[in-house]
Amino acid sequence: MVVRLFMRQFQHNLIRQLKRYSKRAALKGERLESQWETVIGLEIHAQISAKSKLFSGSGTTFASPINSMVSFFDASLPGTLPVLNRRCVEAGILTALALQCRLNLVSMFDRKHYFYADLPAGYQITQQRCPLAKDGHVEYLAPDEVHRKLVLKRARLTQLQLEQDSGKSLHDVEMSHSLIDLNRAGIGLMEIITEPEFCSAVEAASFVRELQLILQVIGVCDGKMEEGSLRVDASVSVRRPSEPLGIRSEIKNLNSIRHLMRSIEFETLRQISILESGGQVLNETRAYDVETGETVSMRDKERLHDYRFMAEPNLPPLRLYTNDTVPNGVPSDQIINVDELRAMLPELPNAKRERLKKQYGLSVEHSNVFVNEPTLLECFEKIVANQNLQNVKIASNICINEVLAAVNKKNIAFSASNLSAESVGELVELVQDEVISLLTLRKILEVLLQDSSKLPKQVIEERGWHQVSNETALENICCQVIAANPKVVDDYRDGKTKVFNYLIGEVQKKLSGQSNVKAVVRIMKQKLDT
Amino acid sequence: MFAANIKQVAALMQNGQLSAKDLCELCIKRMKRIKELNVFITEMPELALRSACAADRRIKNGSGDILEGIPVAFKDNFSTAGIRTSCASRMLKGYVPPYNATVVEKLISRGSVLMGKTNMDEFAMGCGSVDGAFGPVRNPWKYRFEATRRDRPGAAQSSPSAARIADRGRQFHSASPSQCLDVEADDSAEWFIAGGSSGGSAVSVASGAVLAALGSDTGGSTRNPASYCGVVGLKPTYGLLSRHGLIPLVNSMDVPGILTRSVDDAVVILNALAGHDPKDSTTVVEPFKPCALPDVASIKGLKIGIPQEYHAPGLSSDMKDSWQHVADIVENAGATVKRVSLPHTALSIVCYHVLCACEVASNMARYDGLEYGHRAKDESSTESLYAASRHEAFNNVVRGRILAGNYFLLKQNYDRYYVQAQRVRRLISQDFWNTFRSGIDILLTPTVLGDAPSYRWFSKADNRTRTQEQDVFTQPANMAGIPAISLPVALSSNGLPLGLQLLGQPFKEQQLLTAAKAIEQLVNFRALDFDKLLYCD
């Protein structure tokens, strides 16, 4: 139906142009970027996890057969009316509370008009004039550019509004057809708008990660960017320090954190190159091309839209109540009480990080890892609670540096690894009691990840991986190594202490890594120094 | 038969003197005889007979529902499952909704027999029922039927049972042959408009094809044709009846309207339809208390306001006289009649036009020919497909309002038009509130400026000009959401019916309808005697 061949041609030209830009930018490199500041604002669309859509009873299951989740209302049949889904409102309120927003006790819905094939009514119901909530903020950790340490930052939020998602269009250029799937049309979205205050792609990405985590923790959005449940638009502009904001372009529909970062980085360079060569940045919407890693201009028409906003006449104002204002005699299913929802909020990531730091003395980095890995944290807290550990640090180190590293290497999530708290706990215990070395632990983990039915002790028994701590046995091996490496020993005694580790390594080799390293070091030192 | 009210007909069916099937057949016969009036867009005689037979079975099995077997019609903007719902537009000529509007569902589930879908102005945009894709509706009053001009099957008489009721029913205004000949003999095209936009529904009731019909009322679309056709037209309080399934004109003003031959019948239908609908969030949740009117209604003690602003330019002397006359009658009957002022009335119609255009522009955006409706052949791009489909399928009136509405909603115009109109709307509502707060119970006004205009005269000006004239007394009630009813009270010097309007307080339908019934009994308007008109000997 729709042929947009000209678009392709247009895009090709652009990509070629941009390649030139970025090459030039790369050549000038550091020097260029250091003279410019990037300013980034984000608009996040989070699909609300709800059984039915924002204004209709149809289902929301991802990847359902095409056009199978479409009610009469979703297809905009004449005479159908929107009925607000209570669950979506509650999700919006929980989110607003978690993001420290100011809730509007009365909010309104508006119609935003534009013609598009996947928008059946010709308008989207959204909240433009009086949104559900305003003025929030999120504290998040972002790596410091220079030291790579995590630093606490704060992002300010402009507003949070409820709105409908659109359907999906698939343009078949060869057949000159557009295929429309309305399954997504009308699913509840929360649109979260930030102030344009992020200074780098890393900052923006860290914020989105934190937001994703918050939404997941409070259970209002599954946060699956790859399925489109969380989509980000980034407004990017550059300026010289202390100058007013530059002209921005908007990169639409970024569906992974990596794409978000790459596209912002590319866009920054592109804009700097344009400005450096005396050009002007266009205020336009752009798309990120995953294959080339570049942003490309979308249809120019879009930025000229006048959306002709109008109050949605079929929905009364959305009223929220607090414990103090709940009217008497009205059934509770017709009332939304903010205070009741507030009481339902679980521990939020930031509070959790603080607690982990305080309760277990964890580093910022470790507590951050745990907050991002809730099942691993659960495992860690179980271990710590069950065992009388002298040192919580061993447990957190093993969880993060060993267990998480091992599952990451296998490209699976900890929750999918089938590693139980019991077996990880046993590993911690074994290391703490110096029954095994870290090298052995890694070997055991390998085995457990293959076959989770076994426990570490079983594996050790079966494979004879006990750590050799027997003093005389270790002394013998040390003597053998010394005898076999007279030159190295001489070097050591001449003051080249670096070679010491080589000798220890030789001992380890002889014992297939099962020696108690501490003991070996002590004995070896003793032998060499006397 | 057609003199009886719903309660009487229901009683006849309950005690076996009349079957729903016989009644349905009578109505089908009547529908055929009035074909020339262009009342129905879709007639469903077979379906109606089947439902009537089913009603007979249920009555036999003990169903005592007053609506069992009662023939009704719906304006063609109420969605009816499996039955075309066209809004009198090319756009929806082939559209068959998969669901029933709530009000349709309510009547059908109570056993009413759906006779057909009635003609209207395209998408209810108009006040004459002349601007629809199916041609104009004709007013039965003073209409010269082919039958009266050619053969006169004087033998054809209504059934015995019908004659019996006619005897003890109320009196008829008989359209005498001399009146028929009043129309200029040399111009057979001279006939009167039915009013609109629910003209088809009004005529279906006036001509006896059904006992009750639903119209819609956004700016007067039920009351206007009620006045021109000599029937009762009730616009309930906004939020009392569900709009789910009613194809919208202006969502914030639309209400399903009730057209009947008497106030008692309007009460029966209102009681069947009113109440919260979970599918329409603008309906009130408080339970509806059914209206119950006494056999002899009294207006004694009521405070009736006569708004001075309704002495508008263009008000016919006939209408003015009837208004004065009825005011005198009610005063004599014990009501207090008081002059009142609704100072912002004059602004109302302009404000209505702005708001109407805005919502129209928005509501019409869905008609793109993709999911349903007319689809043009031009598929060179999505935009040109939309443009061609919409251009081909909407008439000038609809397109004009869409254009105006989009203009008003543009960012640079929004405050000057849309926001300003909303402010004025609030002032108009406040006028009513202030009046009611001052102790007035009900307002009495003309429904329209005069009697039904001739089609020839009416079609001399465009739709916009005509709606501006025609809706002047009716749309303020929609702006304020208050209930209103038009009652036939007299005949004009031209022999055409004149309607007066009563405006009540929100959700006080009981009070409004009691007053309406009292006036109905006082003025004793004689309805159109159709049998005599058709076979005027």
Q: Which residue, among B527, B9, B530, B34, has the nearest Cα to B232 in the 3D structure?
A: B527
At A205-219, the pLDDT tens digits run 999 999 999 999 999
Quick one: pLDDT band at residue B347, thresholds 50, 70, 90?
A: very high
Read out DSSP for A361-394? Answer: ---HHHHHHHHH-HHHHHHHHHHHHHS--S-HHH
The structure tokens listed for B536 are: 């005027």
CB A341 within 8 A of CB A347: no
H/E segment holding residue A134: strand A133-143
pLDDT digits (tens, 9 = 90+) for A364-373: 888 888 898 8
For residue A198, the SS3 value is strand
Q: pLDDT tier at B149 (50, 70, 90 boundaries)?
A: low
Helix (H) or strand (E) run with residue B431 in it: helix B420-437
Q: Please confirm, yes or no, whether B221 is among the known catalytic residues.
A: yes
Reported as a single tens digit per residue, the pLDDT across B429-443 is 999 999 999 999 999
Q: Are A9 and A15 in contact (CB under 8 A)?
A: no
Antiparallel, parallel or unpaired: β B113-118 and B40-43: antiparallel
Indicate if the pLDDT at residue A1 is higher than 50.
Answer: no
Write down the residue that tokens 């078949």 correspond to.
A172
pLDDT value for B158? 41
Provide the pLDDT confidence category of residue A23 given band limits of 50, 70 and 90: low
pLDDT at A110: 97
Q: Pick from A106, A19, A91: which is nearest to A60 by CA?
A: A91
Residue B181 is which amino acid?
L
State phi, psi for B489 to the nearest 5 degrees: -120, -25
pLDDT digits 0-9 by tens, A344-365: 999 999 999 999 888 888 888 8
**Structure token digits, residue A282:** 């266009």
For residue A162, what pLDDT is reported?
98
Q: For a pLDDT cut of 70, what percent of chain A falls above it?
A: 90
Lowest mean pLDDT among A106-110, A112-116, A417-421, B303-307: A417-421
A84 touching B (Cβ < 8 Å): yes
The pLDDT score that the predictor gives to residue A300 is 55
Distance of alpha carbon B328 from alpha carbon A366, whole angstroms: 89
Residue B348's contacts (CB-CB under 8 Å, 6 or more residues apart) are B424, B428, B472, B475, B476, B479
B244, B381, B411 ranked by CB distance to A79: nearest = B244
Q: Which of B19, B197, B201, B486 is catalytic?
A: B197
Question: What are the structure tokens assigned to A258, written together?
Answer: 């990596």
Q: Say how far apart CA A369 and CA A357 lie, in whole Å.
A: 12
Give the mean pLDDT of chain B: 91
Taking the CA atoms of residue A258, residue A259, residue A260 and residue A265 in that order, the dihedral angle to the nearest 10 degrees is 90
Residue from B207, B221, B348, B389 carrying the catalytic annotation: B221
Contact B38, B135 (CB under 8 A): yes
- Residue A302 CB partners (closer than 8 Å, separation 6+): A285
Does the beta-carbon distance from B362 to A120 stay under 8 Å? no
Q: How far apart are CA B323 and CA B334, in angstroms?
A: 17
A234-243, A358-367, A424-433, B164-173: which is most confident: A234-243
Chain Cα centroid distance, residue A297: 27
Res A389: pLDDT? 59
A381-416 pLDDT per residue, tens: 888 887 665 678 888 888 888 888 888 888 888 888
Phi, psi at A472, each rounded to 5°: -65, -40
Rounded CA gap, B100 and B84, in Å? 11
Cβ within 8 Å, pair B365-A120: no
Distance of alpha carbon B501 from alpha carbon B446, whole angstroms: 5
User: How many alpha carbons fall within 13 Å on the CB side of residue B166?
Assistant: 19
For the stretch B228-283, pLDDT in tens is 999 999 999 999 999 999 999 999 999 999 999 999 999 999 999 999 999 999 99
Confirm if A416 and A377 have CB atoms less than 8 A apart: no
Q: Which of B75, B117, B142, B235 is catalytic?
A: B75
Q: What was the pLDDT predicted at B68?
A: 97
Question: How many CA atoms does the CB half-sphere of A377 hold within 13 Å?
Answer: 17
> For the whole model, what pTM was predicted?
0.87
Record the tokens describing residue B268, joined without a space: 């029966």
Residues A485-530: pLDDT tens digits?
888 888 888 888 788 888 888 887 777 767 777 778 888 887 777 7
Judged by CB atoms within 8 Å, which residues 435-494 of A form the interface with B? none
Is the backbone peptide bond immediately before A206 cis, with ω within 30 degrees of 0?
no
Distance from CA of A282 to the nearest CA of B (A): 22
C-alpha–C-alpha distance, residues A288 and A259, integer Å: 7
Residue A72 near chain B (CB below 8 Å): yes
Regarding predicted confidence, which is higher, A296 or A18?
Answer: A296
- B197 is a catalytic site residue: yes
Give the per-residue pLDDT at A304: 65
B281, B371, B409: residue with CB nearest A308: B409
Q: Is A88 on the interface with B (CB under 8 A)?
A: no
Q: Does residue B154 carry a pLDDT above 80?
A: no
Is-contact A189 A228, C-beta < 8 A?
A: no
How much is the ipTM here? Answer: 0.91
**Residues of A300-328 as b/e, b for ≥16 C-beta within 10 angstroms?**
eeeeeeebbbbbbbbbeebebbeeeeeee
pLDDT of residue A134: 97
Best mutation site among B78, B370, B378, B408 for testing chain A: the one with the most A CBs within 10 Å? Answer: B370
Nearest beta carbon to residue A310 from set B97, B362, B368: B362
Which of B280, B363, B412 should one mutate to test binding to chain A, selecting the residue with the greatest count of A CBs within 10 A? B363
Closest-CA distance, B57 to chain A, in angstroms, reads 33
Cβ-Cβ contacts under 8 Å for A155 (sequence gap 6 or more) = A137, A138, A140, A194, A195, A197, A198, A207
Q: Write the secondary structure of A320-352 as one string of H (helix), E (strand) and C (coil).
A: CECCCCCCCCCCHHHCCEHHHHHHHCCCCHHHH
| Candidate from A228-237, A272-281, B206-215, B311-320 with smallest mean pLDDT | A272-281
Task: Kindly indicate the confidence band of residue B152, based on its pLDDT and cuts at 50, 70 and 90.
Answer: very low
CA A184 to chain centre: 23
Is residue B244 less than 8 Å (CB to CB) from chain A?
Answer: yes
Total length of chain B: 537
Read off the pLDDT of residues A157-207 as tens digits, 9 standing for 90 and up: 999 999 999 999 888 877 778 899 999 999 999 999 999 999 999 999 999
